[in-house]
Every structure is written in structure tokens, then in C-alpha cells.
Amino acid sequence: MRVLVTVPWGERLGGAEAMLQAILDGAQRSGHEFELVFFEPGSWSQELSAAGFHVEVIEAGRLRQARRSLATVLRLARILRRRRPDLILNWSAKTQLYGSPAAVLAGMRKRVVWWQQAIPSGKGWLDRTATLLPAIAVGCYSTPAAEAQAQLFPSRPTFVVGAGAPVPQASSQPAALELPADVPVVGLVGRLQPWKGQDRLLAAQALLGQRGQAIHAVIVGGDSWDLSPEYAASLPKLVDRLKLAGAVTMTGEVPDAGPYIERMDILVNASDPEPFGIVLLEAMARGVAVVAVDSGGPGEFIDNGRTGVLARSGEPGDLADALEILLSDPDLRARVARAGRESFLRDFTDGALQERFFASLQALPPAP
């Protein structure tokens, strides 16, 4: 099968890009041929081109730029006619807005699939509009995402492929962090954006301190591509307001979060809801105990109390309650960390992801 993927970002921003990269890493072994059209330039497209993938870049600009959007659709339609892929995989709702009309113009409307990167609420115009456009199926990270997607009009067929992550190699150099040796280190990895919940973790840390559970928090990530500058600027002020100075380390942007995760006793994903949470797999792979919110994807791959702990919500009190389970019992924390790593190695490596994903592609209706 020849698959053409449309990609919104020229850089690797997070989990969505990590999953696509893992799929591309396994493309040659799968027997499928992948090529890509990026809607903005960047280092990622250059890396993939250097790795031997056929890559084209269309600078699409913003969706509200009507003339530029139309020009993007027309140019993409020309690429589709020239390349004649068996499947068009639009790797987000945004690229579906370009990719589906281009496929219609190229006479390929029955070859379109798009990937739902979120858990749609039905209120967002982007997801609603993407769903209105022709597609034979919508891919999702988790059953909650697929169920929410199926509620949008018209109800499109969905399929679920749980994410995976590479088996980590031993770090050649540990992260250069000055951390206390006498209190547990609790970390959160992600872009500094409100939905990631760094502020809620800090509030949970303050609550834990009131309960006599001291921790040192490590916030790994920065304001990637200036997406939420006000929120990023608010976090150091919140640290001061909560009187946590000296008990929080903010690393800013890092090229590889792995060495930082290895310094943690617990990794928290505070997103509520979370479409999947690949960073949780990255922690489980390293034998780090995890806490996530029981909303969205994490509930599908975390066995509560055995391979991780699920918080009732992303609110600070519920995060603090979930963390306290592991903080108050180091033996349980160690067992959870071991069981989490075993679960990762069994079901959630990048190889397991590739098998699931390519099997799902094979199960789609054949291109006319």
C-alpha cells in the first residue's frame, strides 16, 4: 500500500509526532510505502527527507487565510494526481480540512482517512468541520476518543490504535539536575500549556506539603513555539505564591526528556482528559511509577494500583490523593514501577504499535 500522509507541523511538538515517527520507523519492514506532505517547513521534514522518504512542503499558512487555503488545496490535489497514493492519511483535523477537499478534486474521496488527535467535545468547530468532510474512517488513540468522535455528525467509522514508544537505550549522560536526596522527585513532562496541568500539579504539591508529604517537583518542557506564553510566564509566579521556591525545578525546553524522566520517582500526567499519554509509556519503559487522570486514554492501559495509579480527576486534591498512595508506600511504588515496565515491554513498544497500526490499515476498505 502506498500511503500519503499530510502533516500540520514541521517540527516534533509532542506525542502525535512521536507516534507518527514510530509508524514511519516501521514502514519499510511493513511492506508499505509512505510519503509525506508537510504544511509548514521545519527540521522534521528535512530529517525524513534525509532518511529516504519522499517529502514535499506546502506552506499553508493559517486556515483563516481563504485564498492561501484554496491554493493549498489545489496544490495538494495536483500532488495527489501525480503521486496516486492508495491511501491519504490526514494526520490531524487541520490537515483533513485540506486533504479531504484535495482528494475530492483528485477523484480520491474514497481513499481518505484522518487521525483524531484529541477527544472531541462536539463544541469545537475544527473537529465538527473535519468530520463533515469525506473520509472512509477516523483513527483514534483510545476507545473514549473513538466514542466521542462517533457522536459527531455524520457518524464516521472509527478505529483505535493504542500508541507505543521505543524501548529506551541506556542514557550515556544523566540529566544535569541538582535534586534533593531526602524527598521523592515527582515530575511532569510536556509543553507549558493549560491543558497539560502543570499548575494543578504545583497546587497538588502544596496540598501534599500541608499533609506532611514533601516532594520535589520537576517540570520538564517550555513554551514550545510560543503557543501559551501567558501560561508559561504564570508558572514561576505560582511557585512563589504557593511558597514552593526551592522545591520546584523548571528545566525549560530539553532535546530529550528521557534522561530527566530517569531522575524521577513518579511521573504525573495531569491532562484531563488525555487522548492517550505517550509520556506515560516513556516513564513505564524506564521503570518509573506513573500517575494519570482516569479520563480518556490512560484508563485503557493503566491497571489502577498495579501498573500505575489513576486520579479521579485532574483537580489538585485528586492528584494529591493519587500521589499520596505511592508516596506513603515506597514498596508499592517499586512494585508499580516494575509492573508498569513489564506491561510496556509486553504491549506498548514501538514494534507493538507498528503491528497494530499496519493491521488496521490492512483492514480498511480497499481503494477503488
In a domain, 203, yes or no: yes
- Do residue 223 and residue 123 come from a single domain? no
In-domain check, residue 321: yes
pLDDT truncated to tens, each residue of the chain (368 aa)?
999 999 999 998 788 999 999 999 999 899 999 999 999 999 999 999 999 999 999 999 888 888 999 999 999 999 999 999 999 999 999 999 999 999 999 999 999 999 999 999 888 899 999 999 999 999 999 999 999 999 999 999 999 999 999 999 876 677 889 999 999 999 999 999 999 999 999 999 999 999 999 999 999 999 977 889 999 999 999 999 999 999 999 999 998 999 999 999 999 999 999 999 999 999 999 999 999 999 999 999 999 999 999 999 999 999 999 999 999 999 999 999 999 999 999 999 999 999 999 999 999 988 77
State the Cα–Cα distance between residues 73 and 94, nearest whole angstrom: 12
* DSSP assignment letter at 172: S
CATH code (residue 118)? 3.40.50.2000
Same domain, 88 and 216: no
Any domain includes 172: no
- Does residue 175 fall inside a structural domain? no
pTM of the model: 0.93
Residues 6+ apart with CB under 8 A from 128: 120, 122, 152, 153
User: Residue 65: CB partners within 8 Å, gap ≥ 6?
Assistant: none
Whether residue 55 lies inside any domain: the answer is: yes
**Same domain (yes/no): 118, 199:** no
**219 and 342 inside one domain:** yes
Integer Cα distance of 145 and 17 in angstroms: 18
Note whether residue 331 is domain-resident. yes
- Tell me, yes or no, whether 215 and 155 share the same domain: no
pLDDT value of position 171: 64
Number of structural domains (the chain) is: 2
Q: Are residues 319 and 354 in the same domain?
A: no
Pairing of strands 248-252, 216-220: parallel
Are residues 341 and 281 part of one domain?
A: yes
Q: What is the pLDDT of residue 101?
A: 98
Residue 354, domain member (yes or no): yes
**Domain shared by 113 and 208, yes or no:** no
Reported as type and span, the H/E element at residue 90 is strand 87-90
Structural domain span for residue 119: 2-164+350-363
